[in-house]
Amino acid sequence: MKRLVLFGLAAALLIAASPAFAHFGMVIPSDPMVMKDDPKSIHLDLLFWHPFEGKGMNLDKPKAFGVTTDGKTGDLLGTLKEKKTGEFTTWETDYAVTRPGLYVFHMEPQPYFEPEEDLFIIHYTKAYMAAFGDDEGWDQPVGLKTEIVPVSKPYGLYTGNVFQGQVLLNGKPVPGAEVEIEFFSQNGPGQAPSDYMVTQTIKADPNGIFTYAAPKAGWWGFSALNKADFTLPQDGKQKEVEIGAVIWVQFLDMK
């Protein structure tokens, strides 16, 4: 009996000591910089994922999905088509680019209950696209409940460039916000020297601004997590809600 108790305790300590891999809401456009000779339609994939590990989760049809350009927001929810990525439910759509400008695609998912953390998760997720040489307004908030507003342009970045963003919650900066960062490994699970390096974490400054230099080309996700000012019911009880401000940024190698 003592051995069983000790074994159980050791297993519990091992689990507690293991780094927790992060969930990320994802909005990934096929091309974040559309020029005059490029295809005039882009493809967008929406996922709820462990991006570095390449492990999927089912994404229910989002509560909201739209695009903001020139200060106006269009509803794209009705354009989404359900898709299977491996065994998991994801969503996709195509978007016709008809005029120059900056386009911000943003998703609000349905609340996801995470039993291991005993709370709900909602990731307000954004990705940016600039078209035909016009990109005014990339540093302006969209107006989501929580979001990361770029301080560096969220496109046109070389590998190794610094990306900066400001974390907002209810329109106000979040001093010292904790930001989780993961690389989207699209060709099988990523390889890290240690599990501690799967999800990297940095802290924002007193103005909610964080800085990160990407060491590898590809899509990188930045997620700032905060406690919501509301709860949601689950099994007859009110549960806390973790809301994430998520932005996806592509870095490219210089040729």
Tell me the pLDDT tens digit for each residue of 163-176.
999 999 999 999 99
Asked if residue 2 is part of any domain, the answer here is no
d(CA 166, CA 210): 6
> Which of 131-135, 171-175, 185-189 is the least confident region?
185-189
Whether 242 is covered by a domain: the verdict is yes
Better pLDDT: 14 or 223: 223
What average pLDDT does the structure give for the chain? 90
CB 165 within 8 A of CB 171: no
**Does the residue 178 lie in any domain?**
yes
Q: Answer yes or no: is 98 within a domain.
A: yes
Would 9 be classed as within a structural domain?
Answer: no
The proportion of the chain whose per-residue pLDDT surpasses 90, expressed as a percent, equals 79
Is 14 a residue whose pLDDT tops 80? no
Tell me if 5 is assigned to some domain.
no
Q: Could you report the per-residue pLDDT of 66-101, keeping only the tens digit for each?
A: 999 999 999 999 999 999 998 999 999 999 999 999
**In angstroms, rounded to a whole number, what is the distance separating the alpha carbons of residues 248 and 30?**
12
**11 within a domain of the structure (yes/no):** no
pLDDT at residue 187 is higher than 90: no
> What is the count of structural domains for the chain?
1
Looking at the domain assignment, is residue 1 inside a domain? no
Range of the domain at 140: 22-252
Task: Check pLDDT > 80 for residue 22.
Answer: no
Q: Are 120 and 240 in contact (CB under 8 A)?
A: yes
Chain centroid to CA 85: 18
Confidence of residue 12 (pLDDT cuts 50, 70, 90): very low
